[in-house]
Amino acid sequence: MCAPLFLLGLFAVSGFAARADITLSLNFKDGDKVSDITKLIAKVESSDGIDKVEFRVDDDLRNSDTSVPYEYEWDTIADTEGAHTISITAYDSNMQTKRITVALAIDNEIALGAPALAQKAQDALAAKDNATALRYSRRALKAEPGNSEASRVLAGLYAGQQDLPKAIATLEKAKNLDASTGAMLDLAAYRLRRALQPENAATFLTELQAVNDLRHKAADLAVKETTKRVTVDGKISAEGHDAIGDALTFAGHTHQATLEYGKAAIGDDAPLTSVNRLALSLVMENRPQEAMNLLRPLMRTKKADAVSRAIEGLSLLRQQQFVEARAAVQPDLADHVPASLIVAAYADSALGKRRDAAAAAHDAAVLLPNVGEAQFALAIATPDPVESDSAISRALALSPFQVGLYLEYAARIALSKRQDRYDQALNLTDLVLKAEPDNMSAKMMQAMIFLQANRLPEAEPILKDLNKKYATEPDMLLALATYWNVKDSGGQVTYFMNQARKADADRFAPSSPLRPLEFIALVNRKLHYRGGLFLTPASLYPATTP
């Protein structure tokens, strides 16, 4: 009888020793408030070791953690505001358990409403406080799923992390997307960035057309909103006509913008800002001489300002007078006038002054980081290929209706020397010609790509048509020399090269005959001879133009 009693006592002692106590605590106490993503951390101790710790919210198992630190990141946005019961259960290696409960209250300020929360998100984003912007954008979307302004902030944060699929998906779910100019333009920009990625080359044109449809819709809405805003008792002031003209310019409706600016730029006492805008619009309509006629009286009477001189410079650039264009803006460069810096960068690039061009372009891009022409100037001036590619992508997103950007991108694609991308470059030139049927650069680039791809029957009628209109132009003469070089006709090559040299010895006198891609590299990428260089009201009047 003694032995069994002894063994029973021994088992009892050993069993007692095996069942160690579990201590368990949480990093929050009853009544604490939590918000956004809150990390719940359980501190657990047991001499027998812990197998796992379970976290429940209102009896709903949310996480099971098997290693130190035992924690659960609770996204409180997914739950309702107010009180919740948090249960923490620890299991040791002997399957003993310890459980504690804590009452916590979610407070994400949802009662403030989506507009107020979205505004806080926008303010934080403007202050470059991305963490706060993220918090408040998520809160606003909890208060009103699909809120367009909060969606824009959240999408912008995703895009900043190069997560374009999330950025696009966020905006595509936005409520009343068609009624938000900004949201549509943001979505178009992110979709374009995705389309520009090399792996999406096969779908680039289709996506680009969809993007431009979205941009047109957004820009046309902006025109309507602007017109409504500036119309008071059925009347529109000079400033109102300028604002409508700016919206039309951004929407790519250049001729309509010219008509609108003309309503304000009437008479000798017309506001200089209106006259300058009208002159710019005339230049962008390929009517540079009319623009110069408008500006000359201002120059004679010394009423012209730095903006006037920048427009004069752009007019000269579009007439391939690069030295004169550079001289026109020279007086304003020391004052870092943005439009003057951009014109200088354009001109210096064409004149081969790469260092000066890059300096002016960098200054302009610092002053106007979100203006398309500043990014375009940087794209063509910087010697850094990575910076250049980034700048042209930004320019395309910021200035969607400027054909010069598409010609620049088409040239880059063609010069990649990939046979499978020639059609993509041709599609881009087709896109340009839909907007400007007589665009010489687009037609000439098409001809050169056809020559490069050994598609002479398609190149020849284009060159024949261009020659009828531009027979004495140096770029046309050099294009013909390039054509005859492909045809191995040495005498014709020599003749047209000599003619090009006589027309412009500084720029069109290569040391040897050119192949088609070499022609594109010289005329379109190096000289930007007819490259669709542009300015907009955003660089003329950056303080007042959105």
Helices assigned H by DSSP within 113-177? 114-126, 130-143, 148-160, 164-172
Residue 323 CB neighbour total at 10 angstroms = 12
The pTM of this model reads: 0.81
- Coil/strand/helix, residue 40: strand
**Which residues does residue 25 pair with via DSSP β-bridges, in sequence order?**
43
Which amino acid is present at 277?
Answer: R
Task: Give the tokens for residue 521.
Answer: 């590299």
pLDDT at position 471 is 96
Task: Tell me the C-alpha to C-alpha distance, in Å, between residue 493 and each of 347, 504, 505, 507, 538.
Answer: 29, 17, 16, 17, 45
Rounded Cα distance, 186 and 370, in Å: 13
Task: Tell me the C-alpha to C-alpha distance, in Å, between residue 98 and each of 53, 93, 406.
Answer: 9, 12, 67
In tens, the pLDDT along 76-104 reads: 999 999 999 999 999 998 889 999 999 99
Residues of the chain where predicted confidence (pLDDT) is lower than 50: 1-3, 5-17, 545-546
Task: Tell me the C-alpha to C-alpha distance, in Å, between residue 452 and each of 163, 463, 475.
Answer: 37, 14, 17
H/E run at residue 60: strand 60-65
What distance lies between CA 319 and its chain's CA centroid? 29
Rounded Cα distance, 132 and 134, in Å: 5
Task: Give the tokens for residue 76.
Answer: 């409180």
Q: What would you report as the CA-atom Rg of the chain, rounded to the nearest whole angstrom?
A: 33
Angle between the N-to-C axes of helices 288-300 and 272-284, in degrees from 0 to 180, rounded to the nearest 10: 150
Rounded Cα distance, 379 and 172, in Å: 30
Q: Are 263 and 241 in contact (CB under 8 A)?
A: yes
